[in-house]
Amino acid sequence: MTAKALVLDFGGVVSRMLFETHDLSEQALGLKPGTLTWRGPFDPATDPLWQAMQADQLSERDYWMTRTREVGRLLGEDWDRMETFVQRARGADVEAVIRPEAVSIIHAAKAAGKKLAILSNELDLFYGADFRRRLPLLQLFDVVVDATYTGILKPDPRAYAAVTAALGLPAGECVFVDDQKRNADGGVKAGMQVVHFDVLQPAASFGMARRLLGLEA
């Protein structure tokens, strides 16, 4: 069945992960190059905390709050909001951290008449409430379901039900793309067509989503 909607996680799928942009973060924060050494999925051996999160010993939010506090201390500051870390580390140029492959599939899906949705656990929590205004790409989306406001985190089945209801489509007609396996598994259980996004191979992952949407050239 060719899908009628593309449902994307945001952080890691549409935007590059903070692990990928340590150089930009260090520059924006005034830190020496090489200060930030944790690399998450790009080098799990450098990041025991990431390994613990993948083993469900702590939540993704707990992981990032730990990193937020660590980086704040490097600057002699007390950071208690992930939003502070993301906004300070990524500076004013939000376009610089968006995956070009994501931009391409979003525009292709829109041109083909597909519906577009974001299903995020922390879009405004991490990026700030004004982020959608500063990133015009988000204006192309028909639906944004953000657990910052709903309080319902993936992989809770209600999160997937909320986005399919807002789109007005059965789950089976939606392609869901997420980099966290637990969230991808939640999409499978919800009946969606799922791409478990590989941050190491973004082009291949988006290629799979394109095929499910019938967007091949």
3-state secondary structure of 15: strand
At residue 127, the pLDDT reads 86
At residue 1, the pLDDT reads 74
At residue 92, the pLDDT reads 67
Residue type, 196: H
Which letter does DSSP use for residue 60 in this model? H
At residue 129, the pLDDT reads 83
Two tokens, residue 206: 């988006």
At residue 157, the pLDDT reads 98
Which letter does DSSP use for residue 115 in this model? E
| Dist CA 183 CA 185 (whole Å) | 5
Query: Using an 8 Å Cβ cutoff, are 60 and 54 in contact?
Result: no
First to last CA, the chain: 18
| Dist CA 202 CA 164 (whole Å) | 24
- For the stretch 97-126, what's the b/e string if a residue is b when 16 or more beta carbons lie within 10 angstroms of its beta carbon? bbbebbeebbebbeeeebbbbbbbbbbbbb
pLDDT < 70 stretches in the chain: 92, 217
